Structure 1
């Protein structure tokens, strides 16, 4: 039962939403509500049983539209697959799919976007994986970084909504194996958006 949730958060976070302010806000609220429902439901939660008893809600930064960034997408088709380090000895294979170039508070930033090399069950399940750390990591957000899931872009533009950033499962339980964001994806800005660190009670 525990692992049903693995794909649920990914599905929520990777849906294409309208990029007008109202659409973005609605998408974030929907994501937050559904995440809380999954965490509080014993059928779908990833929390350990003692944590589930005291669980009330995940904590999120206030929604901030400046963290829904429009980025230039650069495809990098000739990358070699590599094994991404995780919190355990598991080494899942990914390939760098492209780069997102954008700015936050006039800081020019670049993030690598990755794609799993394992076969998706259907084309709709294909997505880009964006693990990152920033200056809130360990100071408000989970020290091990956070993730965003993205639809594969069909143009040279990609929107990254950091308000949908979520924690690796390792933030909630040491039963999981979680990819560690590569050093190239360390942002030297505070991304005060998305889910905050989880305080064990």
Structure 2
């Protein structure tokens, strides 16, 4: 159940894969879609009691500042590893590359990963996983960090829209097993964009 639930969460939330410029409409579409998923008992990760009273997730105000163009440097000679999770499951990933960007005048970098299981499927062979944590974690945003879905770039730049950052399912329900954000993806800045903490 845990493994299936994890993939449902990934597969439903593939938005803005190849955006080239900021689009408020894309962020609004993301918010509308994730709210619809969470309100539907068939797809919602919420616990039964929370589902009964659910109206909307809480989001930071949409802010173009948190849409950045990053330089993509593909990783070389990386080995497959087992990513730690909140449970006992250890899914296989490989570090696919590093994203270099500037935010508030500060140089930042994040590693991006590829799921070995997802890469074997036709629909998600180009999917990249970007987990991160920042200085809002444990305050306004989920203590365990958040995720963004990306697509393997054709060139050497990747657009990252932190307005489309979302929580792992385990932020809502302890029955799920979610990848932990690697220490190297902890940003020393406040990312006031995307989904806030629940409750």
Question: Normalized against structure 1, the TM-score is what?
Answer: 0.91
Q: 1:114 corresponds to which residue? A: 113
What is the CA-CA distance between 1:51 and the residue it aligns to? 0.6
| Partners of 2:17 and 2:149 within 8 A in 1 | no
Q: Does 1:52 align with 2:43?
A: no
Q: 1:143 corresponds to which residue? A: 143
What is the CA-CA distance between 1:14 and the residue it aligns to? 4.7
Structure 2 CA distance for aligned equivalents of residues 126 and 133 of structure 1? 23
Match of 1:9 among 9, 12, 24: 12
Structure 1 CA distance for aligned equivalents of residues 179 and 124 of structure 2? 22
Which consecutive unaligned segments of at least 5 residues does structure 2 have? none
Structure 2 CA distance for aligned equivalents of residues 146 and 162 of structure 1? 10
Question: Normalized against structure 2, the TM-score is what?
Answer: 0.92
Q: Alpha-carbon deviations, 1:52-110, whole Å to 9, x = none?
A: 01111000000111111100000013111111110011111110000000011011101
RMSD between aligned alpha carbons?
A: 1.7
Aligned runs of 1:59-74 on 2, under 5 Å?
Answer: 59-74=58-73
Q: Does 1:161 align with 2:161?
A: yes
| Partners of 2:13 and 2:34 within 8 A in 1 | no
What is the CA-CA distance between 1:18 and the residue it aligns to? 4.8
Runs ≥4 residues deviating over 3 A: 1-5
- Shifted more, 124-133 versus 29-38: the winner is 124-133
- Identify if the C-alpha distance between structure 1 residues 30 and 55 changes in structure 2 by more than 3 Å, giving closer, same or farther: same
SS of residue paired to 1:130: strand
| Partners of 2:45 and 2:172 within 8 A in 1 | yes
Structure 2 CA distance for aligned equivalents of residues 85 and 112 of structure 1? 15
Structure 1 CA distance for aligned equivalents of residues 121 and 89 of structure 2? 21
What is the CA-CA distance between 1:48 and the residue it aligns to? 1.1
SS of residue paired to 1:59: coil
| Partners of 1:76 and 1:99 within 8 A in 2 | yes
What is the CA-CA distance between 1:120 and the residue it aligns to? 3.1
| Partners of 2:83 and 2:93 within 8 A in 1 | yes
What is the CA-CA distance between 1:46 and the residue it aligns to? 1.2
